[in-house]
């Protein structure tokens, strides 16, 4: 892998990580699920059992009550293992409110994601996206 190939892969993966947050905030569950491999695994930052498979991931997101959310993603670090495998991690700050509201319903959540990815014919996809929480920030 040339240095340019590595740089392009890092860029593509960082874009995937950022796009996941934007699509999540837009509630575009089909597009979110398409970011995973067919047998991909998703672990919510709040924990719980892994959701396995693209359709199960889509259904899991779609089953949540409607809400307004804003994921702020930063500190994206990509490690390229080979031309077709990589890992990444990022930090996340999440604000949520009930659908139609403009005031946050709960404290801000601070955490992130640890990812495993592969390059497919359609570009980079998550094989595993494991979220975690570090802090709940309540400014009351």
Q: Are 37 and 125 in contact (CB under 8 A)?
A: yes
Residue 58 DSSP code: H
User: Reduced to 3 states, what is the DSSP secondary structure of residue 2?
Assistant: coil
75-125 pLDDT, tens digit per residue, is 999 999 999 999 999 999 999 988 888 787 678 899 999 999 999 999 999
C-alpha distances (whole Å) from 110 to each of 8, 93, 133 are 29, 5, 6
Q: What does the domain layout of the chain look like in residue ranges? A: 3-137
Structure tokens at 71: 């994921």
Rounded-to-integer distance, Cα 115 and Cα 130, Å: 6
- List the structure tokens of 35: 């970011």
pTM above 0.75, yes or no: yes
CATH topology of domain 3-137: Nuclear Transport Factor 2; Chain: A, (3.10.450)
């Amino acid at each position: 892998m040339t240095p340019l190939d590595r740089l392009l892969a890092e860029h593509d993966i960082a874009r995937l990580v950022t796009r996941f947050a934007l699509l999540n905030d837009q509630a575009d569950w089909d597009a979110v699920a398409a970011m995973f491999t067919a047998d991909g695994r998703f672990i919510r930052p709040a924990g719980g059992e892994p959701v396995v498979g693209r359709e199960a991931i889509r259904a899991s997101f779609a089953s949540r009550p409607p809400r307004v959310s804003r994921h702020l993603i930063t500190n994206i670090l990509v490690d390229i293992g080979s031309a077709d495998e990589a890992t990444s991690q990022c930090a996340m700050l999440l604000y949520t409110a009930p659908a139609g509201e403009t005031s946050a319903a709960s404290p801000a959540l601070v955490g992130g994601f640890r990812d495993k990815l592969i390059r497919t014919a359609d570009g980079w996809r998550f094989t595993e996206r494991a979220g975690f929480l570090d802090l709940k920030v309540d400014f009351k």
